[in-house]
Amino acid sequence: MRSGPQVLVFPSYRDNPFLNLLQLAPRADGFRVQAAHTYDDLVSQAAALETGDVVHLHWTTPILQQAKTAGDASRRLDQMDALIRQLCTRGVRLVWTVHNRLPHELAFRDLEIRLMQLVADSADTIHIMAPHTPDALADIVQLNPQRIRVIPHPSYEGVYDSALTRDDARDAFELAKRDRAVLFLGQIRPYKGVDALVSAASAASDARGDDLVLMLGGAVKEITRDEFSASLPSSLRTIAHLEFVPDADIARWFRSADVAVFPYRAILNSGSVHLAATFHVPVILPGDPRLRAQFGDERWVRFFDTERPAESIAELLAEDELFSDVDGADFERFLAPISPWDISRDYAALLRELTADSPAALSA
């Protein structure tokens, strides 16, 4: 394998499928992908980068929001300003992938906005996955349109077990054929609106005559597991695995589901939508105008009213013919342009452009 420029990825999570998929083609092309796990790793490893190397910043949360005090966060911001200036002087490229409007854990909001603007102003490329991203951030951060590159979120084709049948998956959960299985999979946190989904599922179950089953898979954050369990109505049929769902079991949950609901109060990008589509599971999303513009033409997507989430989701879940006209071809049309390898090749092409003048540059 050829040896090319270094790409320092921060924060790098070994078990994050998005990062692993994105890096497939660059690694195959000879880019030397390095992982910085913590803020201190980023600072120390960036010092070794040379002209034409790349820092790829993903989530900004570990930089300031994991500081112990406001004073510590302010010092980190100054340190990042100096670090970015040094990298620019040395000819190191900076890529920023915008994952969220703001971090979900937000202790130092004003400092975070200053950091995001610093990164936006300094980045050679701002990678966005949804066209509405600049508009969604416009009231907090200005993104230079000349530096923006749109590379969509990939599907998860080939990542998870595809041999498991729907019948076997549902049998494992003791679901009857007539049951409507409503899935939420992911961390259970306040901003994700799972409380509204629980209320909606309970109301829809009453309306439908007890054929609805709510499936909840994911660790509970910011409240205790016991507190959350106590909030589940005893009359609602619930399958709850309130801890991390391992990758080996993801397929069983999605193959079992009739619909996945993402009742988020705040959302910019959601890999969960692409994961559901990969398993051909229809989804219900917030009726945000930007999401409607992005997914409104997809027959496997319905939207709830964000002004009355619990009631609106309940109305959708109670529909007898919900998604009855959706078939596999609807999902395949969406998935065809966003296979992991195609998206990773687009990312590799971006890296080649940025590092074309590097002493270790790779030819196409």
Q: What is the pLDDT of residues 124-146, one digit of tens each?
A: 999 999 999 999 999 999 999 99
Rounded average pLDDT over 34-40? 97
Q: How many angstroms separate the CA atoms of 360 and 50, rounded?
A: 10
Task: Report the alpha-carbon distance of residue 288 to residue 305 in Å, rounded.
Answer: 8
Do the strands 54-57 and 6-10 form a parallel or antiparallel pair, or are they unpaired?
parallel
Q: Is the pTM of this model over 0.75?
A: yes
Closest to 309 in 3D by CA, of 324, 334, 327, 288: 288
d(C-alpha 9, C-alpha 19), whole Å: 9
CB-based contacts of 336, cutoff 8 Å, min separation 6: none
d(CA 304, CA 316): 8
Q: Are 214 and 197 in contact (CB under 8 A)?
A: yes
Taking only the tens place, the pLDDT of each residue in 232-248 is 999 999 999 999 999 99
Burial profile 254-265: b = 16 or more Cβ within 10 angstroms, e = fewer: bbbbbbbbbbbe
**Mind listing the pLDDT tens digit for each residue in 298-336?**
999 999 999 999 999 999 999 999 999 999 999 999 999
Q: Which helix (H) or strand (E) holds 331?
A: helix 328-335
Measured CA to CA, the distance from residue 31 to residue 23 in angstroms comes to: 9
